[in-house]
Structure 1
Amino acid sequence: MTSLAPKPDKHKKAKALKPGSIRPAKELCSECGLCDTYYVHYVKEACAFINQQISELEEQIHGQSRNLDNPNDLYFGVHQDMMAARKKQPIEGAQWTGIVSSIACEMLTQGIVEGVVCVQNTKEDRFQPMPVIARTPAEVLAAKVNKPTLSPNLSVLEEIEKSGLKRLLVIGVGCQIQALRAVEKKLGLEKLYVLGTPCVDNVSRAGLQKFLDTTSKSPSTVVYYEFMQDFQVHFKHEDGSIEKVPFFGLNTKELKDVFAPSCMSCFDYVNSLADLVVGYMGAPFGWQWIVVRNDTGQEMLDLVKNQIDTQPVTSSGDRKAAVQQSIPAYDKAVTLPMWAAKMMGVVIEKIGPKGLEYARFSIDSHFTRNYLYVKRNHPEKLENHVPDYAKKIVSQYKLPKA
């Protein structure tokens, strides 16, 4: 088994890769930022696409790996609690109600951490990610709203060590967090808190523009978007209006290759190695889905318990037929006429999977697609790269032979 504790001080001798250099993960690089620092020394151990080690890291971080015989563990990872939540007073301009930003602000205000790794955007482009170490709540709030593009969050790792920070919160997605956990002991921190978001189907900045141009009626005014539980993509525009496009009406032929190869090879949709995960896919529309993975995650959530309403997670419907039908539809790049797509969306939204069953639908759909992608494009990686939990999930479905 690969050692999860790097030898001391070797990174001091390493140099970050130059911009434009071929990364060790090659076309599977998710641009997490690790290779932009002297921690590139550990990339062959740490990179999620070179050395998949979720099970081992779960054991290290949470004290146990997931129980594959427990349906919730199988899908959602190690956890102590799950719930739906929303802020009583939402943060204006937040993508949802602002729970992630609120936790980060409280941790700074109360002196629990000295900095927060988060992602603002450049002045020139609202979708161009700019990782920062926020030192004030105002800097955290400047990072609100997801950036649906590949983001080098870990490029700030050198700055963390040089700054002398000892207590840090990192907000990130699965591939970033797996690499972070693998080098965590090298950061010289007294305490690391990890707040994760579920993540799937990121794109390059050029890929994002193609998606917007292909899908939205007004791509230049889109502030953010999300694939929602009603089986529609919701685009928020500058004037506050919401544009909805049915999943089944997307131009699959044009968009099939827009997603990053790393995202097509990812099996950590739910951010298994974070202490606390805040997303939406397991919650009712308008609520956020919270997964508390360990005591550190509970400590973080407790900071905002008086600011949020909560309710138990629920689950209804049956996802399996819809998932099975989606496999060949995606494979053959099927796109329905918009009228048919809207009708199908209405029907499925009424009788289809909801709550945790919708989350399973989304996981199943992506895992079957990604399994086929790895099998076809990187067959030599299939056995070691696909985690056992993902293999078990995929085994429920009939996949194309080719």
Structure 2
Amino acid sequence: MHEITLMSVAERIQGRPKICSDCGICSSSYRPMLPQVCMFVENRAEQIERKLHGRNRNDGDELLFGIYRSRHVIRMAKPNLDAQWSGVVTSLGALLLERGMVEAVITTMAVPGTHHAPLPVLARTPEEVRASARNKPCLSPNLDLLDQVRESGVKRLAFIGTSCQVHALRAIEDHLGLEKLYVIGIPCTDNVAYPDLLRFLQIASKSPDTIVHHEFMQDFRVWMRHEDGHIEKINYVDLDVSALGGELAIFPAACLSCFDYQNSLADITVGYLSAPLPPPERWQWTMVRTKAGEELFELIRPFLEVGTLSERGNRQVGVSEYVRMLKRPRKRPPFPIRKLIAWMQRNRGPRGMEFARSVIEMKLLRNLQYVRDAHGRLERRIVPDYVYRALATYGAVYEEEFGRTLTP
């Protein structure tokens, strides 16, 4: 597993379909079930939603964020200073073990000697879970550990993972023989193979080897925290994506074909996206989705401080312009223009919930167009119906630019 996570995308998916996120199913004994569980063979998100919730998404925010019972701004009252944010996810996994609610937690540590290379582990102690804190934004075959779960006789399991992993896990859930499964979802977009992450950090940072974690923040800058605690910031518009060969050269086909940034099939989703600035306050954002999710939230609640959801601005003008840029990509502007764009984004751009909506809409638009351009024959199988409902506002500008309707 150490060696797998250090490989390039081409090496990892050799002999598999081109759209593969290396979630771990293919390398486990459950591989024969691939056609029934892989979201890139057939996306069953809406079918799984009906099983989890008894319904599909309502109009409004559920189209973007998935079905939820409640949503909150939270942070650990005593944060884990080694975590990317306050440590809610790993604290929750550790609590489940401490209270005897589960026997093991599938989580992701870092390969020894690296900050970011993912190493899936079947954690059996709270200390192991807490040690897996920090984000590793790379492809990680977490579901490969389902064989270990079966062989070790674990019947009560918690799973911490990304949306492609959770989709496959939900689709296979009835075949695992578990008495209890808790699913803690991490919002996820544009993961990369570990070598490509290193390439990105080399372009973005003055000291790439000392970066502990990084995040694309609401002020339209990438914040990169280094080993000595200082934070390096770079404007989105200053990132030289062309130096990486463009998005298609760094992001796997799977991430460009995914429509579940918000990890909507989890019991509870915990991330950053709409939490307030500034980051040193370590606020996080959570959506409680199921009855099991409510159980998880009540378990962690005594250890939390609760903040307030907020929003500012109007995303629709910016997202409409993004549609036009998808059709007519623009070169990186000169520095003075970039400086003005960055100021406008930082001072006039959306914030809070409106920022979250804008990010998800842009990812849906970009990925829909990628599927149409690169894998058009698969569109009806891998693009959920909710995507078209969520993007209906931009139907006119899409048709104007692309000469076809947004809805197939």
1:276 is the counterpart of 2:268: yes
Instruction: State the match for 2:312 in structure 1.
Output: 316
1:152 is the counterpart of 2:144: no
Q: CA deviation at 1:177?
A: 0.2
- Give the distance between the partners of 2:90 and 2:325, measured in 1 at CA: 38
After alignment, is 58-67 or 208-217 more displaced? 58-67
- Give the distance between the partners of 2:385 and 2:191, measured in 1 at CA: 24
- Give the distance between the partners of 2:43 and 2:26, measured in 1 at CA: 17
- Give the distance between the partners of 2:297 and 2:101, measured in 1 at CA: 13
- Give the distance between the partners of 1:178 and 1:92, measured in 2 at CA: 31
- Give the distance between the partners of 1:320 and 1:19, measured in 2 at CA: 38
1:325 is the counterpart of 2:314: no
Q: Which residues in structure 2 correspond to 1:74-85 (within 5 Å)?
A: 74-85=63-74
Q: Supply the AA of the counterpart residue of 2:331.
A: V
1:395 pairs, out of 389, 392, 397, with 392
Q: CA deviation at 1:303?
A: 1.3
- Give the distance between the partners of 1:319 and 1:382, measured in 2 at CA: 26
- Give the distance between the partners of 1:212 and 1:333, measured in 2 at CA: 23
- Give the distance between the partners of 1:201 and 1:61, measured in 2 at CA: 26
Distance 1:351 1:108, change over 3 A: same
Instruction: State the match for 2:3 in structure 1.
Output: none
Q: CA deviation at 1:21?
A: 4.6
Is contact 2:13–2:20 with CA below 8 Å preserved after alignment? no
- Give the distance between the partners of 2:95 and 2:338, measured in 1 at CA: 43
1:221 pairs, out of 182, 202, 210, with 210
1:386 is the counterpart of 2:377: no
Is contact 1:118–1:153 with CA below 8 Å preserved after alignment? yes
Distance 1:218 1:329, change over 3 A: farther
Structure-2-length-normalised TM-score: 0.90
SS at match of 1:305: helix
SS at match of 1:57: helix
- Give the distance between the partners of 2:35 and 2:140, measured in 1 at CA: 20
Is contact 2:12–2:22 with CA below 8 Å preserved after alignment? no
- Give the distance between the partners of 2:331 and 2:75, measured in 1 at CA: 36
SS at match of 1:396: helix
Is contact 2:106–2:158 with CA below 8 Å preserved after alignment? yes
Structure-1-length-normalised TM-score: 0.91
After alignment, is 344-353 or 333-342 more displaced? 333-342
SS at match of 1:38: coil
SS at match of 2:393: coil
Q: How many pairs were matched up?
A: 381
Runs of 5+ unmatched residues, structure 1: 1-17
Q: CA deviation at 1:333?
A: 4.9
Distance 1:109 1:85, change over 3 A: same
1:197 pairs, out of 177, 186, 191, with 186
1:99 pairs, out of 88, 103, 114, with 88
1:22 is the counterpart of 2:15: yes
- Give the distance between the partners of 1:339 and 1:76, measured in 2 at CA: 36
Instruction: State the match for 1:362 in structure 2.
Output: 359
Deviation string, structure 1 residues 273-314 (Cα, Å, up to 9, x no partner): 000000111221242111000111011111121211113422
Distance 1:94 1:324, change over 3 A: same
Deviation string, structure 1 residues 20-76 (Cα, Å, up to 9, x no partner): 6512xx111000000111100110010010010100001112332212x2x111111
- Give the distance between the partners of 1:121 and 1:351, measured in 2 at CA: 37
SS at match of 2:30: helix
Is contact 1:278–1:289 with CA below 8 Å preserved after alignment? yes
Instruction: State the match for 1:9 in structure 2.
Output: none
Instruction: State the match for 2:5 in structure 1.
Output: none
Q: Which residues in structure 2 correspond to 1:201-350 (within 5 Å)?
A: 201-254=190-243, 255-257=246-248, 258-285=250-277, 286=279, 287-329=283-325, 332-350=329-347
CA RMSD of aligned residues (A): 1.7
Q: Supply the AA of the counterpart residue of 2:38.
A: C
Instruction: State the match for 1:37 in structure 2.
Output: 28
Distance 1:333 1:256, change over 3 A: farther
2:166 pairs, out of 171, 177, 180, with 177
- Give the distance between the partners of 2:342 and 2:276, measured in 1 at CA: 17
Q: Supply the AA of the counterpart residue of 2:265.
A: L
Deviation string, structure 1 residues 335-362 (Cα, Å, up to 9, x no partner): 2344543442332222221111111100
Identity %: 39
